Amino acid sequence: MAKPLVVVESPTKVKTIKKYLGDKYNVASTVGHIKDLPQKEIGIDIEHGFLPKYVTIPGKQKVIKALKDAAGDAEDIYLAPDPDREGEAIAWHTSEVLKKKGRRFHRVLFHELTKKAVTEALTTPEPLNENRYKAQQTRRILDRLVGYQISPILWKKVKYGLSAGRVQSVAVRMICERERAIFVFEPEEYWSVTALLEGAQPPAFSAKLVKKDDSKISISDGDIAAAIHQELADASYVVDKIIKKTVRRRPYPPFTTSKLQQEAIRKLRFSAKKTMTVAQQLYEGIDLGGESIGLITYMRTDSTRISAEAADEAKELILQHYGKDYALDKPRFFKNKNRTQDAHEAIRPTSVFHTPDKIAAYLSKDQLTLYKVIWQRFVASQMAEALIDQKTITIVAGKYLFSATGSTVKFPGFLTLYQSADDAISAENEKAKGLLPELSENEVLKLLALEPKQHFTQPPPRFTEATLVKELEENGIGRPSTYANILSTIREKGYVDMMKGIFKPYELGFIITDLLVHNFPDIVNVDFTAKLENDLDQVESAETNPTQLLQRFYEVFETRLITAAEEMLSVKGIGLPTGIKCPVCTQEVRIKVGKNGPFLACEGYPECTYSRNYERDEKGEIRPVEPVLELAEGQVCDKCGRDMVVKQGRYGDFLACSGYPECKNTRSVHANGKGNATGVSCPEEGCSGEVLEKRSKRGKIFYGCNRYPDCKFALWDKPVNRYCPDCGAPYLVEKETKKEGRMLRCATQGCGYKQFPDEQSDEESNLETVGKQE
Nearest in space to 758 (alpha carbons), one of 167, 49, 37: 37
Distance (Å, whole) CA 748 – CA 727 = 8
Between CA 293 and CA 498 the distance in angstroms is 36
Please return the burial class of 143, using the count of CB atoms within 10 Å of its CB with bins 0-12, 13-18 and 19+: buried
CB atoms within 10 A of CB 152: 16
- Annotated active-site residue in 20, 298, 483, 506: 298
Task: Return d(Cα 407, Cα 427) in angstroms, integer.
Answer: 10
Distance CA 260, CA 272 (A): 9
Displacement of CA 88 from its chain's centroid (Å)? 24
- Please name the helix (run of DSSP H) or strand (run of DSSP E) that holds residue 560, with its range, or none: helix 546-567
Q: Coil, strand or helix: which one is 454?
A: strand
For this structure, is 322 an active site residue?
Answer: no
CA distance 488 to 498: 10
Cα separation of 201 and 406, whole Å?
16
| Distance between CA atoms of residues 355 and 587, nearest Å | 71
State the pairing for strand pair 444-456/237-249: antiparallel
Tally the residues of the chain: 774
Annotate 467-490 with three-state secondary structure: HHHHHHHHCCCCCHHHHHHHHHHH
In which element (H, E) is residue 191 found? Answer: strand 189-198
Q: Are 702 and 696 in contact (CB under 8 A)?
A: yes
Question: Cβ contacts of residue 165 below 8 Å, gap of 6+?
Answer: 143, 146, 147, 489, 761, 762, 763, 764
Three-state DSSP state, 589: strand
Which sequence positions are flagged as catalytic? 298
